[in-house]
Amino acid sequence: MTANKFRSLALEIPGALESSHMDHPDFRLAGKIFASLGYPDDGYGMVKLTPEQQQTFLKRAPDVFAPCAGAWGKRGATSVCLRVASVALLRAALDAASKNVTIPKNKAKL
């Protein structure tokens, strides 16, 4: 997986737009960030999951996914190691993350 492939998968989501936050590319729906690139470095991306979704993805692919540092990680922000991520797995994570910002919190599911 490359950063450009991550970008193209994120932008496949209907309505997704690329923007920037804190000098990192991010991907938004209705103004809300669901994914970003380049944190903690260029080899990683981030998907904004629920804590429950995060645990599911961590169990499914612990070499690909890890909680982000601090409170963000405890709330579901999940780091994606690009070099070992598959298209199918990343697409599933991006789909879940995009729904989390467009569906009311009590309705978001994996």
Task: Give the C-alpha separation, 12 to 59, whole Å.
Answer: 26
Supply the pTM of this predicted model: 0.91
| pLDDT cut 90: percent of the chain above it | 85
pLDDT tens for each residue of 14-53: 999 999 987 889 999 999 999 999 988 999 999 999 999 9
CATH code reported for the domain at 3-102 = 3.90.1150.30
Residue 13, classed as helix, strand or coil, is coil
The answer to whether the CB of 87 falls within 8 A of the CB of 10 is no
Using the predicted structure, report yes or no on whether residue 3 has a pLDDT greater than 70.
yes
Task: Give the C-alpha separation, 69 to 78, whole Å.
Answer: 9
